[in-house]
Chain A
């Protein structure tokens, strides 16, 4: 009989060998990973962020810049100077919103893994003080549906306008503690550093960045100027005030009574090296997304 089955039937040990060989083949075959095993497992996982299939549809994503109430309404610095601002210009370029998976964590060393992105090339210069709304609109972009949980931008020198040549330009008035109007000090601070911020999800009263059908979404580049001047409403030992420069070291640079106009080159020359380094460190952490932190990629000194 063919295939030697008659011999196998006569000798049970040959049957056992054949069964073992069959089992061996089955085991080895079972060790091979199923090609689509991983995609299936991921498909079963509930996703809070956008599904790739929905990315063919697009919606509108607005991107804003915000200097917070500190800039719009003024505040008291950690060393008692009452600050009010007339114009504060920032210039942003390569403004990009991302859908990231896993969600980008700026506090970690992980790289940003974008599933989709949309952006404004810029450069765009906005005044954070005199805006019709609380924030300054940088622009609107068409963006695939999904949750934009990361935002990056570069602060670059402005090309035109009063802030031309500077990435950050502040003009305002400062009044010392217990002083009168005659003691006012007008100031212009100009910074030409190019900074790059990569941030995680916007953190605020509500979550932002969900581009959906029939629903507008927005993100925000937020600048925390209390990190530079400190906050007089907080105790001196508060961590924010401990790290802030305050305004007194700047006021001490005023050349004549009632006016101060300096750029970064002046500051680097006239401030102590520790204070100059402190200013650089503060600028590296000026960019936020609401209350969420950012990772500063590079800073020119």
Chain B
């Protein structure tokens, strides 16, 4: 109750699944080949030619061919508010990339809810910094991107994160499993060989893979 403290935090954003338009085109040609092969009695040479064209046709063969693709890039939803809970709507936002901390990489402003979507360049991993200012109040938010972000949670909790992805207990358990597996296998093969067979062993069979 001494003034207007500010706070900013990261909110999680759902990830997208990458896809490629060209893969879809190639799959369509192969589907057409299958359909034609079954529907019409095409000559074997024609069918092989169609198959080869679909498989070997390089990208960009068509004079006016187009390609559209997309990839998932990290997006961070930033929310800025005062201590009272009032959102910092329309606040000035300045983004700094880790490669140049003095030149703004992006400038914008928060929406009415005090939120701002940050889409940093994934080719510039490191600590991105977002400065949010309004009416003499400011806050600086540190956003880890890339390899640095892997050791932190999506909610922006960076402090206290461990460098290793596996804990000591997990490592010990894994090592014990490996040792037990190797020793067990070694003991199995080194047991005394029985020449006298009291009974005919059952044939070992492998499960047959189902064929389409």
Contacts of B190 in A (CB 8 A): 13-14, 17
Number of A-B contacts (CB under 8 A): 122
Q: Contacting chain B: which of A91-99, A117-125, A265-273, A287-295?
A: A287-295
- A244 near B7: Cβ-Cβ < 8 Å: no
Pairwise interchain contact A201-B2, C-beta atoms closer than 8 A: no
Cβ-defined contact, A290 with B138, below 8 A: yes
A48, B129: Cβ atoms closer than 8 Å: yes
Q: In the bound complex, how far is the Cα of B183 from the Cα of A154, in angstroms?
A: 64
Q: Is the CB of B159 within 8 A of A108?
A: yes
CB pair A17–B125 under 8 Å, yes or no, is: no
Question: B101 touches which one: A108, A147, A226, A281 (CB < 8 A)?
Answer: A147
B-chain residues with CB within 8 Å of residue A147 when the two chains form the complex: 101
Within 8 A of A (CB), among B1-54: 1-7
- Taking the complex as formed, is A172 at the interface, i.e. its CB lies under 8 A from any CB of chain B? no
Task: Give the most central of B99, B138, B148: most A CB within 10 Å.
Answer: B138
Is A210's CB under 8 angstroms from B102's CB?
A: yes
**B residues less than 8 Å from A203 (CB atoms):** 131, 133, 138-140
Is the Cβ of B3 less than 8 Å from the Cβ of A46?
no
| Any B CB within 8 A of the CB of A6 | no
Confirm or deny: A54 has a beta carbon within 8 angstroms of a beta carbon on chain B: no
**Size bracket of the A interface:** 35 or more
* B139: chain A residues within 8 A (beta carbon): 107, 203, 292-293
Q: Are B138 and A291 in contact (CB under 8 A)?
A: yes
Nearest-CB residue, chain B, relative to A292: B138
> Given A203-B133, A203-B138, does the pair A239, B84 have CB atoms closer than 8 Å?
yes
Docked pose: A153 CA to B182 CA in angstroms: 61
Please tell me if the beta carbons of A291 and B185 are within 8 angstroms of each other in the complex: no
Q: B113 in the interface, Cβ–Cβ < 8 Å?
A: no
- For the complex, give the distance between the alpha carbons of A207 and B101 in Å: 8
Q: For residue B144, give the distance in angstroms from its CB to the closest CB of chain A.
A: 9
Known: A13-B189, A204-B138. A45 touches B125 (CB 8 A): yes
Stretch of A21-29, A59-67, A127-135, A136-144 lying at the B interface: A21-29
A14-B190, A46-B125 known; A293 vs B1 contact (CB < 8 Å): no
Note all chain B residues with C-beta closer than 8 A to A284.
2
Q: Is the CB of B5 within 8 A of A293?
A: yes
Shortest beta-carbon distance, A191 to chain B, in Å? 15
Instruction: Say whether A227 contacts B125, CB under 8 Å.
Output: no
Q: Are A244 and B175 in contact (CB under 8 A)?
A: no
The reply on A242 being an interface residue by CB < 8 A is yes
Assess whether B83 is interfacial by the CB under 8 Å rule.
yes
A56 CB within 8 Å of chain B: no
Q: A28-B175, A31-B171 are in contact. Are A244 and B3 (CB under 8 A)?
A: yes
Q: Which residues of A contact B125 (CB under 8 A)?
A: 45-46
Query: Are A240 and B3 in contact (CB-based, < 8 A)?
Result: yes
By a CB distance below 8 angstroms, the chain A residues around B7 are 107
For B105-133 the 0/1 string (1 means CB < 8 A from A) is: 00000000000000000001111010101
Task: Name, among A28, A243, A281, the residue most crowded by chain B CB atoms within 10 Å (CB to CB).
Answer: A243
Q: Once the chains are docked, how many angstroms separate the CA of A41 from the CA of B163?
A: 10
Residue pair A281, B2 in contact (C-beta under 8 Å): yes
- Cβ of B178 to closest chain A Cβ, rounded Å: 5
Question: Which residues of chain A in 205-248 are interfacial with respect to chain B, using CB atoms and an 8 Å cutoff?
Answer: 206-207, 210, 224, 226-227, 238-240, 242-244
B174 / chain A contacts, CB cutoff of 8 Å: 31
Residues A17-58 near B (CB distance < 8 A): 17, 20-21, 23-24, 27-28, 31, 38, 41, 44-49
Q: Most B CB atoms within 10 A — which of A17, A41, A206?
A: A17
**Which residues on B sit within 8 Å (CB–CB) of A46?**
98-99, 124-126
The answer to whether B127 touches A103 (Cβ under 8 A) is yes
| Cα A103 to Cα B83 with chains together (Å) | 21
From residue A286, how far is it (CB to closest CB) to chain B in Å? Answer: 9
With the chains together, A110 CA to B157 CA distance in Å?
11
Determine if A278 is an interface residue (Cβ-Cβ < 8 Å): yes
Bound CA–CA A278/B1 (angstroms): 8
- Among the listed B2, B84, B159, which residue makes an inter-chain contact with A110, where contact means beta carbons less than 8 Å apart? B159
A sample of 24 cross-chain residue pairs with beta-carbon separation below 8 angstroms, ordered by A number, consists of: A17-B190, A20-B185, A23-B182, A24-B183, A27-B182, A45-B125, A45-B147, A48-B99, A48-B129, A49-B101, A103-B140, A201-B140, A203-B133, A203-B139, A204-B138, A207-B96, A210-B102, A224-B3, A239-B82, A240-B3, A240-B4, A242-B1, A244-B3, A285-B5
**Shortest beta-carbon contacts, A-B, top 10:** A291-B138, A203-B138, A46-B126, A239-B4, A243-B2, A24-B182, A243-B1, A48-B101, A13-B189, A227-B3
Q: Assuming A102-B159, A239-B83, A281-B2, what are 13 further A-B pairs, CB within 8 angstroms?
A: A13-B189, A23-B182, A48-B127, A103-B127, A107-B5, A108-B159, A226-B136, A238-B4, A240-B3, A243-B3, A243-B4, A281-B1, A291-B136
